[in-house]
Amino acid sequence: MAVGKPVNIEEQHKLQDALDILAENFEFNENEGAFVTFSRAIAVLKSLPYTISRMGNLDGLPCFGDETRAIIEEILEDGVCSKVESLLCDEKYKARKLFTSVFGVGLKTADKWYRQGFRTLEEIKSAKDLKFTKMQKAGFLYYEDINNAVRRPEADAVGQIIENILHECTPDVTLTLTGGFRRGKESGHDVDFLISCPDEEKYEGLLHKAVSKLNSRGLLLYCDFMEATLEKRKLPSKMYDAMDHFEKCFLILKLSKALVKDGGLSASSVSVVRPPNEGAETEVKTQTKDWKAIRVDLVIVPPQQFAFALLGWTGSRHFERDLRRYTHFEKNMMLDNHGLYDKNKKVFLEAKTEEEIFAHLDLEYIEPWERNA
């Protein structure tokens, strides 16, 4: 295999960003096959210890087909990709990307707003005839904070707040940080936690009690509960992106600068955001802001399913997709956030740890920080 020069971050990002934009558009257009193809190529690029500086560097690498190769070749030769440049000028793509950046806005809503002639968030917020969900109102109200990355010290501070409150409710409860932060990343879009307790009877009302305490202390900016639907689950889902059946809540919490150990939340002068649909005559005040709105997901997991939930919620998205594909096609089993089902034996396989799940699949254990690509 031809090896390129040492990694040049700027050059490597140019290739990744181009494929990322195209993959995102495939996802917008619900072209699952093309999205997965491009996503796998991106994952390979991210894992390389060298820069792709000529086409020969792709020899022997997996996940690069004719289309991804053609795009990389064009960038290496011309410095840009014509498809990407065209897409970046496309009004529909720009509107979809902008609108879906709002918490609570999905593709269908984004497309609806686009068809109605909206092109900016300000146009949407000031529209008199639009109705917004509670989630979307929060998304607009805390837009800037939510779209700024959450850093690891902030995630740790949020975790300490929630853990303290949970222990007030149930002393033997455990809180586990998942997602990209468990994979060793230093920043992310939100913070995900799994909650578990040896005594399942103590789960009753636990999330509601914890959220009530957060609210009473002035820390709760938004909350949406999803009750458990475990009785609906029979076999593991064949759909990778299917929502699991655990009890959970989606929060926006108010994190004070003083609670972040590295002092990373700097106070700044900011304009108070006008809620959607309020007229231009509404007074917009400027005040010093020494807190940040942080997106948090809390998930209640029964002890016997904790290992499977931990594996699923840790990610990454592409790692989980390929692990479940391997489980299905190579082992004739089914894996999701709830369990592992052996289709040959027609039984669920038990596991108390992630290591035991990998052992069932005859795979060497892969550490969380090795699952990013």
DSSP state string for 71-129 = HHHHHHHHSS-HHHHHHHT-HHHHHHHHHTTSTT--HHHHHHHHHTT--SHHHHHH-SS
Please state, in angstroms and rounded to a whole number, the distance separating the CA atoms of residues 127 and 26: 30
Please state, in angstroms and rounded to a whole number, the distance separating the CA atoms of residues 25 and 34: 10
Residue 43 CB partners (closer than 8 Å, separation 6+): 63, 318, 373
Q: Is the dihedral of CA 35, 41, 45, 46 positive or negative?
A: positive
| Helix/strand/coil for 70 | helix
Element (H, E) at 247: strand 247-256
Whether the Cβ atoms of residue 279 and residue 173 lie closer than 8 Å to each other? no
Closest alpha carbon to 28 in 88, 105, 97, 103: 97
Q: What residues act catalytically?
A: 190, 192, 297
Helices (H), the chain: 9-28, 32-47, 66-78, 82-88, 91-99, 107-115, 121-126, 134-141, 143-146, 152-169, 179-182, 206-216, 306-314, 317-331, 354-360
